[in-house]
Structure 1
């Protein structure tokens, strides 16, 4: 019982430190950080976390094994990450080259990767130069009330409709209909409600 209280006190302290240390983040009210996330932000980028969001980087009390802490990377000029109110994110990498917008009341399970860029251009006309190229990214929009299960990869140019569920281990690119179950590699519609 005392251990549980100590964990709660630690979470409060971590949240206060994050609020102080990451002053250039836009943080809403009652944002909860469970352990420290990894944050990398370009001076002209925006990372906006709205009210009552949980960013969980701790395995303690979480039902899955989390491989690493949350990462919030907006490391390109004018990149944007926006996380809607009452959303819970666990052990997830969110890396915006351009824009990643996550709606309200979303659930994002551990070990998910949300990346709007490929890192490099394909460069098939000159593949030996690929290592020197930089992708510009394609926007990702995750609408309200979406549930993304563990170990998913969400790629640039994706829009996930309101209320959709993405099954564990899915690789998602493109448009996901609202109120549907979407899954697989590559992900396809499994059921529409």
Structure 2
């Protein structure tokens, strides 16, 4: 992928995102919408995967046809909210390997604190898609991608539902080689580090916690 930020403006994506933003949307509906929108976003983030031609037999004749080349994709979820995006992507790419990075944001410093890291083997041979619904300050996302790079990954993409300008700028500074795919670039962060207008805390809304 060539550009650093791609905003998926497909009408279905934007419609589902609007429903997710509404504060009265239930936990069950929010979770289902996130699953649906993540599948649609996954089409965009995988658009430029390398393919190779392979010989197959159709019912009529032998034929050279494209297939994705190389090792299976690695999907990396930034816990816990990243898991909501992961479900939809796995419907599209069920053979993908899955990793998890556990980070929480210190409420005072807004800096990420790591508590878990489990990634697939041979990351240097895989395209890695790191997922988290919200790109807010960008600190947690940048820290997660640091860990993915330390594991050897070279072809990395970042997929999120919403992004704030501050988070996009932080990611471009820390990882200019990692393209971002999102459904919306929102207005700003508020004083608490939440995306405005946003949709609240994605993890809380997804899991029904406060």
The TM-score, its normalising length taken from structure 1, stands at 0.22
Structure with more of its chain in helix, by fraction: 2
Question: Whose strand proportion is higher, 1 or 2?
Answer: 1
- Structure with more relative contact order (C-alpha pairs < 8 Å, separation 6 or more): 2
Q: Structure 2 length as normaliser, TM-score? A: 0.21
